[in-house]
Structure 1
Amino acid sequence: MPGPPPTAHKISVVVCAFSEQRWDELCAAIASLEQQSLVPEDVVLVIDHNDRLFERALEVFDRATIMRNTAEKGLSGARNTGTEAARGSIILFLDDDATADRRWVERMVAPLEDPDIVGVGGTALPAWEGGAAPPWFPEEFYWVVGCSYRGLPTHRAQIRNPIGATMAFRASSLRECGGFASTLGRVGDKPVGCEETDLSLRIAAAQPQSRVILARDAVVHHRVPRQRQTASYFLRRCYWEGVSKAVLVHRLGERATQGLSDERKHALRTLPQGMLLAVAEAWKRRSPALALRAGSIPMGLAVTAAGYVAGSLKVAPFSSHAGVDAAYA
């Protein structure tokens, strides 16, 4: 079997972890990186303010560079710490609860042979604990669990931003734009997001000719535990997505408002289509559970909109992640 095509790039992979409760998933993520068809220059594991996890990682992962997050607590700070330490000219990011297919690195890096491409997103398939998605959970909302969702391009195409579980950027672009915003990004179990959107919009503003590409064949499997398969988590995550979008608009102003065209298209085109498909399938199968899926779509949209409105009213006085948390405590 032929090997991967040659590349002039040095490649780093950054993985961020914060909880020992995800130890088994972290071990699987690191193991998947050790079996890649294209071996990265280095794997940087950043431990987010957890001394016990840091010591445990030092004992086990002898092939990775283990670091403490030296920036603000949270996923954005941990990613920025990893970015500064990475030796590669291209930096890939893999979530600590995701495992990469064997050719993931190879397929993520390939589009970056084009100098106009500064970022790449892959496909994040949900690995549902229990084996299958809840029947009421709409595929249009798989972003709630950090996975690729219905409405994304089905082939290689330009996108605004990648999904955080599987993404790559040129190190120079990441560093020149100041990295990920600490105002955004998950801190522990607080589901604030949009840091990838914020980053991509800032890179696009600084490099107008640049593009971010979706590589559909670069696949990771993102674990979805049972506690993220509940209606309460679904609604909470939708609400915080709305809040996150409000923070994003406050940060970037008109640039962010224009950048949210993807959300408008999703709300006006993909979600109505999803409702019709769910209703038709529920009728065909005589399934009340599938009928609930049709109802979950407008409910999720309404709660996301409510989060956006609440965020627009509350977030403006705050410039830090701690301020956002305090507003919603």
Structure 2
Amino acid sequence: MSIVTIAICTHNRADDVEVCLRSTSPQAKKLRLKMLIIDSASAPDQAAKLKQSADDHGAFYFRCDEPGLSIARNRAHEEAENEWIVYLDDDAVPHEDWAARLVEALSEADTSTAVIGGKIAPRWPDGVDANHITQRWMLLLSCVTDEGVGEVSEGHNICGANFAVRRSALEAVGLFPLGLGRIGARLISGEEAYVVARLEELGFASRYDSAFVVDHVIQAERMQLEWAAKRAYWEGFSRARLFKKLGRPLPPAMNPLKLAASLPALFGLKTFSSDPDFAIRYNMALGSLAEQFART
């Protein structure tokens, strides 16, 4: 029996799921990997398309009536039967050797390793110049392109678009937190970082491995500064909420007085500079302050 269950969580993006499955399902069938489509309260027409795609590609379809990425990911944990669950974003497209490399990496992991995140390469829109996309912007796009292997505790990044976790370890930390993870238009994130942090407290390791690769399909709107600024706001919001959920003090860089003091300078720099990182940093600061002063 395989050690891996593949879970694709989605909300109203049936066309993206179909593209993902066209690449994933032949590999999964070859290696006899179970595939789950977790529908996060999609509209009826989208749900019908998702069911059809699941049938066409040999995946199991499950629906959550309440939207929320963490809810959907926790449903995948409930339905999975294997030692590892690998979560794919619905707009991720695995490379042709992705599944074989994934199974190899998971099979070789020692028992202290609970999470392995793979490489996530951007698939830019045709004819669109990506030269203005900075490394900070790349992270907002959930792209991680480093080569090699390394521990998260040593500074390596992992993202949920290509994210494997042991079922037992995920259960040990109480699954994904419902206060983190996207819900509709609220671009809250940080649920993977929460799991990694809790696992670290229990003595588990999380690492990055570039051997298994997916392309992350980048929509043209996400290459506009307006989108990056909005996404940065929610990233700042999410980071502040993450520390609150973990019950940990904020790092010095997120001190509210320090953030508030930085806003005038960042506003001026984002207004007059062509460097998009100033707008990203400005909006991250706003988001962090919004969460820190929220009543809940």
TM-score over 0.5 for the pair: yes
Identical-residue share of aligned pairs (%):
25
Name the structure 2 match of 1:64. Answer: 59
Q: Which amino acid aligns with 1:313?
A: F
Equivalent position SS for 1:80: helix
TM-score (norm. length: structure 1): 0.75
The farther-off stretch of 90-99 and 155-164 is: 155-164
Name the structure 2 match of 1:46. Answer: 38
* Contact map agreement 1:32 1:100 (CA 8 A) in 2: yes
* Contact map agreement 1:108 1:121 (CA 8 A) in 2: no
1:143 paired to 2:143 = no
Aligned equivalent of 1:298, options 267, 278, 289: 278
Equivalent position SS for 1:129: coil
Q: Deviations over 1:28-47 (max 9, x none)?
A: 11121122276253100011
> How many residue pairs align between the two structures?
269
Q: Which amino acid aligns with 2:290?
A: A
* Contact map agreement 1:133 1:229 (CA 8 A) in 2: no
Equivalent position SS for 2:26: coil
Deviation (angstroms), 1:140: 3.1
* Contact map agreement 2:2 2:33 (CA 8 A) in 1: no
Q: Distance in 2 between matches of 1:166 and 1:108?
A: 10
Check 1:230–1:40 CA distance in 2 against 1; reply closer, same or farther (3 A cut). farther
Aligned equivalent of 1:309, options 285, 289, 295: 289
Equivalent position SS for 2:27: coil
Q: Which amino acid aligns with 1:85?
A: E
* Contact map agreement 2:233 2:284 (CA 8 A) in 1: yes
* Contact map agreement 1:108 1:215 (CA 8 A) in 2: no
1:202 paired to 2:182 = no
Equivalent position SS for 2:31: coil
Aligned equivalent of 1:174, options 170, 179, 183: 170
1:18 paired to 2:14 = no
Structure 1 runs not aligned, ≥5 long: 1-7, 264-290, 319-329
1:73 paired to 2:53 = no
1:184 paired to 2:180 = yes
* Contact map agreement 1:11 1:40 (CA 8 A) in 2: no
Check 1:79–1:235 CA distance in 2 against 1; reply closer, same or farther (3 A cut). same
Q: Distance in 1 between matches of 2:165 and 2:118?
A: 12
Equivalent position SS for 1:307: helix
Aligned equivalent of 1:240, options 220, 234, 238: 234
Q: Which amino acid aligns with 1:48?
A: S
Q: Which amino acid aligns with 1:224?
A: I
1:122 paired to 2:118 = yes
C-alpha root-mean-square deviation of aligned residues, in Å?
2.3
Aligned equivalent of 1:251, options 220, 245, 249: 245
Deviation (angstroms), 1:257: 4.3
Q: Distance in 1 between matches of 2:225 and 2:93?
A: 26
* Contact map agreement 1:46 1:66 (CA 8 A) in 2: yes
Q: Distance in 1 between matches of 2:211 and 2:185?
A: 30
TM-score (norm. length: structure 2): 0.83
Q: Deviations over 1:132-162 (max 9, x none)?
A: 444322133211112126xxx5421001562
Deviation (angstroms), 1:54: 2.4
Q: Distance in 2 between matches of 1:77 and 1:303?
A: 27
Q: Distance in 2 between matches of 1:303 and 1:251?
A: 21
Structure 2 runs not aligned, ≥5 long: 255-272
